[in-house]
A and B are shown apart, each in its own frame.
Chain A
C-alpha cells in the first residue's frame, strides 16, 4: 500500500534497489553454502551416544525414539498433550451452541 502511494506521487525507479538486494541475498546464500556444517556430523555427540548405548537396556523398549519421547523427555510429551487439550477446549468454546443467545 505504501509502495503504491509513493509510486503515484513520484515515479521512483526501484530497478537499482532490486538488483542490489538480490546481489546481497545471493552473496549471503553463497556464504551459507560454503560454511554450512556437514549433515550427520553433530559437534556434540555425547548425549546421542549415551541414548543409543543405554536406552534399550534402561527403559526396556526397543524403539529408542519412543523411549526418548515417553521416558527421558516425558515432560515435553506432557506439554504436547496439554497443548492439544487446550486447543480442543478453545475449539469447543468457539463452536458450542450459545444458550444465553437463545434465551434473550
Chain B
C-alpha cells in the first residue's frame, strides 16, 4: 500500500486497540463483552495484514498459543467454582477485595472493581476470540502470498 495509507493506519491503530480493550474490560458494566471486544481487537490484525502486506510477518504459532491459553483460562475459571459450590459458580462475587465490591439493586453505579469472576471470563474470551479471528486472517493472507 502507499505511504499515506500506512501512516493513517498507524495513527488509527492505537484508538482501535484502546477501544477494544475498553469494551473487554467494561464487559460487566456496559453493553459489550469478550466476544465483541475480541472482534474489535482482531480487526487490528486484519488492518496490519492488509496495509503492511510484505513488510511484516505475523506468526501463526503465537496466535494459536494465545487462543488455546484463553480457552484453558476460561475452563480453569469455570472449574474453580467447584471448590465453593458448583461448576461455573461465581466464587469471587461480593468478597470485598479483588473484583468483589458489593453493589445494590438499581441503576449502574459504575464500579470497575465488581462482578467477581465475570471480568476475568470476559478477558479470557476476549483473548480467545481476538487471536482466533486474527489467526483466520493470517492463514488466509499467507495462502494468498504463497499461491
Contact = CB atoms under 8 A, between A and B. Distances in A.
Contacts of B105: 53, 56-57
Nearest to A84: B132
B29 A70 contact: no
A71 B77 CA distance: 11
Contacts of A62: 28-29, 103, 108-111, 114-115
A26 to B, nearest CB: 39
A75 to B, nearest CB: 6
B132 A65 contact: no
Question: Taking each of A61, A74, A88, A97, which has the highest tally of chain B beta carbons within 10 Å of its own beta carbon?
Answer: A61
A69 B146 CA distance: 41
A71 B70 CA distance: 17
A70 B139 contact: no
B118 A67 contact: yes
A9 B115 CA distance: 71
Interface string B63-77: 010011011001100
Contact of B136 (A65, A82, A91, A96): A91
Interface of B: 27-31, 33, 35, 60, 64, 67-68, 70-71, 74-75, 78, 87-88, 90, 93-94, 99-106, 108-111, 114-118, 121-122, 125, 128-129, 132, 135-136, 139-140, 142-143, 146
Contacts of B146: 97
Contact of B135 (A61, A63, A92): A92
A97 B139 CA distance: 10
Interface residues of A, number: 31
A63 B93 contact: no
Interface string A72-86: 001101101110110
Nearest to B113: A60
20 contacts: A53-B105, A56-B104, A57-B104, A59-B93, A60-B103, A62-B29, A62-B111, A62-B114, A62-B115, A63-B28, A67-B118, A71-B116, A71-B118, A74-B78, A75-B87, A84-B132, A85-B132, A92-B60, A92-B64, A97-B142
